[in-house]
């Protein structure tokens, strides 16, 4: 499904919030990246950041009503790759410390750090009706897009 948002066409995938959501989201965004002249090494970084965002939604965003949904949108906006990962969970309070290098011996807590290291921008909007993580990667990033 495609939808238009402020002049940008974003492809959208709606998933059940279950274990299959992560590989399905990777396949969906990977297919989109193949339509762009993106180097393999950069696609790997983008898909790793996506993996962390969808994994967080799956792990932490189960609504009180039972199994929820995860929505993944991808497109190009203002010379940047834009990926939105939204869920309908209870939301959480995002703190900037979540993007800092975690304790190397901790068993969790690396997601936002990795997303911030791999992407040019990571924004989080969260409330009682869910969370949206916006991942951006500039088309002007060094070597992101291969020469034609």
Instruction: Return the pLDDT at 24.
Output: 97
By CB atoms closer than 10 A (0-12, 13-18, 19+), residue 142 is exposed
Range of the domain at 130: 2-138
Which residues, other chains included, contact 41 with Cβ-Cβ below 8 Å and sequence gap of 6+? none
2 — pLDDT class (breaks 50, 70, 90): very low
Decide if 143 is inside a domain.
Answer: no
pLDDT at 147 over 60: no
pLDDT at 135 over 90: yes
* Domain CATH number, residue 63: 3.30.565.10
Decide if 147 is inside a domain.
Answer: no
Give the pLDDT confidence of 36-74 residue by residue, as tens digits: 888 899 999 999 999 999 999 998 877 666 678 999 999
Sign of CA dihedral 147, 52, 16, 23: positive
C-alpha distance from residue 13 to each of 26, 58, 82, 95, 141 (Å): 11, 15, 14, 28, 26
* Number of domains forming the structure of the chain: 1
pTM score, whole prediction: 0.85
Decide if 41 is inside a domain.
Answer: yes
The residue among 63 and 84 whose pLDDT is bigger is 84
């Amino acid at each position: 499904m495609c939808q238009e948002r402020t002049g940008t066409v974003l492809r959208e995938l709606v998933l059940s919030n279950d274990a299959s959501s992560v590989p399905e989201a990777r396949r969906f965004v990977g297919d989109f990246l193949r339509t762009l002249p993106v180097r393999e090494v950069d696609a790997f970084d983008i898909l790793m950041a996506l993996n962390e965002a969808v994994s967080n939604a799956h792990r932490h965003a189960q609504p009180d009503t039972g199994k929820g949904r995860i929505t993944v949108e991808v497109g190009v906006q203002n010379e940047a790759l834009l990926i939105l990962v939204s869920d309908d969970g209870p939301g959480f309070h995002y703190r900037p410390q979540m993007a800092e290098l975690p304790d190397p011996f901790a068993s969790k807590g690396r997601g936002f750090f990795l997303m911030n290291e791999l992407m040019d921008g990571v924004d989080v909007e969260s409330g009682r009706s869910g969370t949206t993580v916006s991942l951006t990667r500039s088309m002007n990033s060094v070597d992101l897009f291969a020469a034609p």
